[in-house]
Amino acid sequence: AEQLGGIFIDAARTTDGIKAGMEALDTARRADNAEDIAARVPYFCSGCPHNSSTKLPEGSRAYAGIGCHYMVQWMDRETTGFTHMGGEGANWIGESKFSTRDHVFQNLGDGTYNHSGNLAIRAAIAAKTNITYKILYNDAVAMTGGQHNEGDLDAPRIVAEVKAMGVKNIAVVYDEKEDVDEKAFGDVPMYERADLQTVQENFAKHKGVSVIVYIQTCAAEKRRRRKRGLFPDPDKRVFINTDVCEGCGDCGVQSNCVSIVPEETELGRKRAIDQSSCNKDFSCVKGFCPSFVTLEGAKIRKDPTTEVKIPDLPMPTLPVINGTHNVVITGVGGTGVVTIGAVLAQAAQIDGKGAGMMEMAGLAQKGGAVHIHCRIANRPEDISAIRVATGEADALIGGDLVVSAGTKTLGLTRAGRTGAVVNSHQIITGEFTRDTEFQMPYDRLTLALEARLKDDVALFDASDLAKATLGDSIYSNMMIFGAAWQQGLIPLSLDSLQQAITLNGAAVERNLRAFELGRWAVLHPEDAKRVMTPNVVALPKTLDERIAFRKDHLIAYQGKRLAKRYGTMVDSITDARLKEAVALGYHKLLYYKDEYEVARLLKSTRAKVAEAFEGDPKLTFNLAPPILSKTGADGRPMKRTFGAWMEGPFNMLARMKFLRGTPFDPFGRTEERRMERSLITQYEADMKDVLPKLTDATHDAIVALAELPLQIRGFGPVKQSNEAKAAKRREELLAVIRSGGTQTSRAAE
């Protein structure tokens, strides 16, 4: 009876344990049911060939296949559908018989072509299908790590093979920076990539199978090879003068490049180049904007702007391993986050412990979410599974706030068990290349993380700290790693971690320094914050300060008379929200960047370059001056390059601003200048007309009308296009206001 009673007691305890475990699991799963606040979708690397090669003529359609080009389906480029490796285009063979469309393009990488894609081309030829294969020769099997093609496949051999298959219509398009031997292609027509759209338009009219071989080396491979001295590294960089920049985003439209990052200023969001990630593709320069300057002899400042003397740091209490200690590492692909997982596993082996690690990085791209799961145990046999399951994470090393606060990551954590250190830097996503107003909800992401882990999460801007102390944000992940160890989240000795960093062999001294700086930053957050932002200029905060800033700005631009004209309208408005809208919108119209102002602003370029780079770089300005510029195939004026000698004419032109708006202004008769002056007159008339109609019902529409000029950004054709869109919005808003707010429209919502 006693034995039987003991069995029942043990069974009851087991049942209670199972129930408790299920309850804990249910609690951990709650994050999985929530909708993601933001997502870090995979994106092409900066300078990736696909940024250019996947562009299509208007009205065309393309298919994706296996390869990095698959990501174009998330980029609004009329590429839909995909198929298995070697089946590229085979789906169109069947679909074409039932479609009113006569032709499609099919993307195909050189690795897939070499594997089995050539069979799909042969099938399309046999079926007499109207299709153009765009074969990217990027000299790497990029999606799986950059291996060489088997058999040393090169672009001339691809051309020879498709010609032997029976393809008659073939063209080679290449990036002019590539070392292409035109003689190797025989009589096949050769075009620079600027002509890609024209080539595609012609090929779309061709009956049967045609092939465009596009030659541009994989950007990730360029970066790797340049580090090893195996690929030419041009002595050329792109710099954006943010004072000139209008924030129109045309550079992102032209390049689709994630190295173009936002720069917040009092006069709106501008653009800057992230020199740490730029792969020197230079297609951003095509953006119709005079703010782009190319530099030769410019060296990124690698020396820290601030020297930190790290005091003696206390040793943390290392956690006790109970079975396995489970670590989740998150970050952005291409920033070195995978290295942290490798160092962690290596350090565990040095300490005589078992370690199991797996990486979930998705495609071989920069910009996408990366998850690394690592289990550490006293004995290897204690590790039965590597993947960290729901609620099992003991430590979260967060290289990126977006990925760390995502439901996929939060579901692995559990309040009371998981400790975290996360980089709070606002790393922009690829969506910024297409949406000039795109904002990441970082406040909500931070709140979600803190709500989940309570007091067991530490956040600091490791990217800014790395730039300030080491000259490069690439060390931010190592800083977060050091901070996590200092917080007692890693059950490994300091000596083993230092040895593992040394064995990794990459920038050893700086990585060891980054690890120590991370330890210091998490212990002394206020000191770290002062180091990060020692020279930041405080922007105006109150409405009166913002108005005063703009009055002073207009005085520097034209004179006191223009500032008085601005103040007369703004100061007459009492409603705070409307007053702010008019203050911003009216200033935007009065301050149009004509030739005199662009010249005045470009005079400061050399000083701005000196702040970011070492040495005495050679400056080249990329401009499209009226009269002197030819019209390109896209109907837009083509840019020309002008050397540093232009700084003299800039000085002379800037002093001629007194001609602005007068009958003697030689630039005042252009269509763009006439448009800008008419917009000012129109705005003043609109405000005079609508301000007496201000009621609760019309308030939102009038505010939207007052802010509308902020959308008229850019230069030349870009500005004219934005003005046309704004004109349609203006009519909608005026209709709402004149009806007393009774109509519904996007403006009134």
Query: Is residue 157 domain-resident?
Result: yes
Count of CA atoms in the C-beta half-sphere (13 A) of 7: 4
> What type of residue sits at position 135?
I
Per-residue pLDDT for 532 more than 90?
A: no
Per-residue pLDDT for 104 more than 60?
A: yes
Within 8 A by CB and 6+ apart from 424, the residues are 401, 442, 446, 459, 460, 461, 462
Residue keyed to tokens 């900066």: 46
Q: 635's torsion region: left (phi>0), alpha (psi -120 to 50) or beta?
A: left
Q: How far apart are CA 215 and CA 359, in angstroms?
A: 31
Query: Is residue 666 domain-resident?
Result: yes
Query: Is residue 260 domain-resident?
Result: no
At residue 2, the pLDDT reads 57
Per-residue pLDDT for 745 more than 50?
A: no
Query: Is residue 311 domain-resident?
Result: no
Average pLDDT over residues 271-281: 90
Q: How far apart are CA 274 and CA 261, in angstroms?
A: 6
**Which pairing describes strands 325-332 and 369-377: parallel, antiparallel, or unpaired?**
antiparallel
C-alpha Rg value of the chain to the nearest Å: 30
Same domain for 55 and 144: yes
Same domain for 396 and 524: yes
Same domain for 548 and 517: no
| Confidence band for 30, pLDDT divided at 50, 70 and 90 | low
Query: Is residue 41 domain-resident?
Result: no
φ, ψ (nearest 5 deg) of residue 374: -140, 125
Q: Mind listing the pLDDT tens digit for each residue in 543-553?
A: 999 999 999 99
Same domain for 445 and 512: yes
In DSSP terms, 614 is beta-bridged to: 299
Total residues found in the chain within this entry = 749
Q: What percent of the chain has pLDDT over 90?
A: 73
Helix (H, G, I), strand (E, B) or coil at 377: strand
Q: How far apart are CA 601 and CA 643, in angstroms?
A: 16
Same domain for 591 and 516: no
DSSP 18-38: HHHHHHHHHHHHGGGGSPPS-
* Enclosing domain of residue 24: 2-33
Q: Mind listing the pLDDT tens digit for each residue in 536-590?
A: 567 788 999 999 999 999 999 999 999 999 999 999 999 999 999 999 999 999 9
Q: What share of the chain is helix, strand, coil (3-state, %, to 5)?
A: 45, 15, 40
Q: How far apart are CA 432 and CA 582, in angstroms?
A: 27
Same domain for 124 and 59: yes
At residue 302, the pLDDT reads 65
φ, ψ (nearest 5 deg) of residue 191: -140, 145
Average pLDDT over residues 297-304: 77
CA dihedral 170, 174, 178, 184 (to 10 degrees): 20
Contact yes or no for 427/332 (Cβ under 8 A):
yes
Helix (H, G, I), strand (E, B) or coil at 282: coil
φ, ψ (nearest 5 deg) of residue 741: 85, 10
At residue 428, the pLDDT reads 82
Count of CA atoms in the C-beta half-sphere (13 A) of 614: 8
At residue 12, the pLDDT reads 55
Same domain for 19 and 148: no
Q: Mind listing the pLDDT tens digit for each residue in 690-730?
A: 999 999 999 999 999 999 999 999 999 999 999 999 999 99
Q: How far apart are CA 258 and CA 445, in angstroms?
A: 21
Same domain for 160 and 16: no
Q: Mind listing the pLDDT tens digit for each residue in 401-430?
A: 999 999 999 999 999 999 999 999 988 888
Q: How far apart are CA 80 and CA 65, in angstroms?
A: 10
Contact yes or no for 746/732 (Cβ under 8 A):
yes
Query: Of 532, 555, 581, which closes a domain?
Result: 532
Query: Is residue 292 domain-resident?
Result: no
Residue 430 corresponds to which tokens in the numbers above? 């690829």
CA dihedral 141, 146, 148, 150 (to 10 degrees): -40
Q: How far apart are CA 555 and CA 562, in angstroms?
A: 7
Helix (H, G, I), strand (E, B) or coil at 578: helix
Quote the number of domains for the chain. Answer: 4
Edge-to-edge, what's the strand order for the sheet holding 237-240? 237-240, 292-296, 618-623, 640-642
Q: Is the dihedral of CA 502, 504, 507, 510 positive or negative?
A: negative
Instruction: Pick the range with the lowest mean pLDDT from 88-102, 139-153, 501-515.
Output: 139-153
Q: Mind listing the pLDDT tens digit for each residue in 453-497?
A: 999 999 999 999 998 898 888 899 999 999 999 999 999 999 999
Q: How far apart are CA 111 and CA 139, in angstroms?
A: 9
Q: How far apart are CA 47 and CA 282, in angstroms?
A: 8
| Confidence band for 32, pLDDT divided at 50, 70 and 90 | low
Contact yes or no for 214/193 (Cβ under 8 A):
yes
Within 8 A by CB and 6+ apart from 109, the residues are 65, 66, 67, 68, 69, 117, 135, 136, 138, 141, 142, 143
Residue 210 corresponds to which tokens in the numbers above? 């045609």
Within 8 A by CB and 6+ apart from 631, the residues are 637, 638
Q: How far apart are CA 705 and CA 218, in angstroms?
A: 46
Residue 541 corresponds to which tokens in the numbers above? 């905060």
User: Please, what's the b/e burial string for 137-149 (b: 16 or more CB within 10 A of its CB; e: otherwise)?
Assistant: bbbbbbbeebeeb
Same domain for 199 and 332: no
**Which pairing describes strands 260-265 and 209-215: parallel, antiparallel, or unpaired?**
unpaired
Same domain for 509 and 483: yes
Query: Of 532, 556, 576, which closes a domain?
Result: 532
Query: Is residue 693 domain-resident?
Result: yes
Could you give the angle at the alpha carbon of 17 between the alpha carbons of 14 and 20, nearest 5°?
155
Query: Of 223, 256, 287, which closes a domain?
Result: 223
DSSP letter, residue 539: P
Q: How far apart are CA 197 and CA 55, in angstroms?
A: 8
At residue 735, the pLDDT reads 95
**Average pLDDT, rounded, for the chain:** 90
Same domain for 391 and 335: yes
Task: With CA atoms as reference, report the closest residue to 267 among 286, 288, 291, 283.
Answer: 291
Same domain for 116 and 141: yes
Q: Mind listing the pLDDT tens digit for each residue in 328-381?
A: 999 988 788 889 999 999 999 999 999 999 988 655 456 788 999 999 999 999
Average pLDDT over residues 269-280: 90
Query: Is residue 627 domain-resident?
Result: no
Contact yes or no for 494/512 (Cβ under 8 A):
no
Task: With CA atoms as reference, report the closest residue to 401 among 20, 26, 30, 39.
Answer: 39
Q: How far apart are CA 618 and CA 605, in angstroms?
A: 12
At residue 430, the pLDDT reads 81
Contact yes or no for 736/747 (Cβ under 8 A):
yes
Which CATH number do you get for residue 88?
3.40.50.970
Per-residue pLDDT for 747 more than 50?
A: no
